[in-house]
Structure 1
Amino acid sequence: MESLRIPILKIGEVLIASIQTTLHDSSAVQFKDDLLQRIFETRARGLIVDLTAVEVVDSFIARLISDIASMAGLMGTRVVITGLQPAVAITLVELGLELPQVLTALNLEKGLAALQRQIEESGDASR
């Protein structure tokens, strides 16, 4: 069975990935690989991972979210995670997950605004 692919949209210099389905281990790994490849291909300066529809995460998915943020950061892409539901936030904290250099926002609109501000303030030249 082929794993479900999460769509990754490009708006300007920002990639947006909104997870609308339950991620199983294989689809989560595919998602990570797809995101990193798109960052490389597009030279995206920002990435928003929208978790609004995600109600539960396990330790594997939590670690994967952290890995995506770290890897994207190493590639020079700023990361914002949006839409964390209370249960997901609790789980991430209980698992001891730290997301240094990652912004969070209540929703996609606020996340996009925060990311745009951060990109503008950084003064980085376009790649």
Structure 2
Amino acid sequence: MKIAIPRLGRILLVAIQQDLSDDEALAFQSNLLSTIAEIEALGVVVDISALDVVDSFMARVINDTASMARLLGAEVIVCGIQPFVAFTLVEMGRGLLSADCTFNLEQGLKTLQSRIASRGDYSLLSEDDDLVI
């Protein structure tokens, strides 16, 4: 299964809608990192609100992806973690330490905008975009 990575200027929006196999999670990671580099993304919001379970491998993939994205220059926000998922991740000792978390997509975008602005980069959009965040 390939996960769509829509773009809003230089921001990428990713919604993981179902559990991923280990191979799918690694393919997602590779695809996302390639897209970040290709468009020189300033930020990524990963929405996992549809996931009822995040196993230790997927938590590691999300953490590693956030770390790699930051090395490429993109801020990362994970939104929509379900309470049971948060409980399970903490119990397993696998918090999402490499990514900031918000309740929902709207808060994720606001947090991302603030983070990017604090770096002094206000060019959230590509030259072809008219939309202002």
Alpha-carbon contact 2:56-2:94 (below 8 Å) kept: no
Q: Which runs of 5+ in 2 are unaligned?
A: 124-133
- 1:35 paired with 2:32, answer yes
Instruction: Quote the residue 2:101 is aligned against.
Output: 104
Give the structure 2 partner of residue 12 of structure 1. 9
- The answer (yes or no) to whether the contact 2:59–2:95 under 8 Å persists in 1 is no
| 1:45 paired to 2:42 | yes
For the Cα contact (< 8 Å) 2:47–2:78, is it kept in 1?
A: yes
In structure 2, give the amino acid aligned to 1:60. Answer: F
Question: Residue 87 of structure 1 corresponds to which residue in structure 2?
Answer: 84
Q: Is the 2:116–2:122 contact (alpha carbons within 8 Å) kept by the matching residues of 1?
A: no
TM-score, normalising length: structure 2 = 0.86
Alignment of 1:36-75 (within 5 A): 36-75=33-72
Give the distance between the partners of 1:89 and 1:123, measured in 2 at CA: 32
Report how far residue 100 of structure 1 moved: 4.1
TM-superposition CA deviations, 1:47-89 (whole Å, max 9, x none): 1110010110111111111111111111111000000001111
The DSSP-based 3-state class of the residue aligned with 2:6 is: strand
Which of structure 1's runs of 4+ aligned residues deviate more than 3 A?
98-101
8 Å Cα contact 2:63/2:98 also seen in 1: no
CA deviation map 1:81-109 (0-9, x unaligned): 00000111112212223444522110011
One of 22, 25, 28 as aligned partner of 2:22: 25
Cα distance, 1:90–1:58 mapped onto 2, change above 3 Å: same
Stretches of structure 1 that go unaligned for 5 or more consecutive residues are none
CA distance in 1, matches of 2:94, 2:121: 29
Match for 2:108: what amino acid? G
Q: Post-superposition shift, 1:124?
A: 3.5
Question: What CA RMSD, in Å, does the superposition of the two structures yield over aligned residues?
Answer: 1.7
Which of the residues 116, 119, 123 maps onto 1:122?
Answer: 119
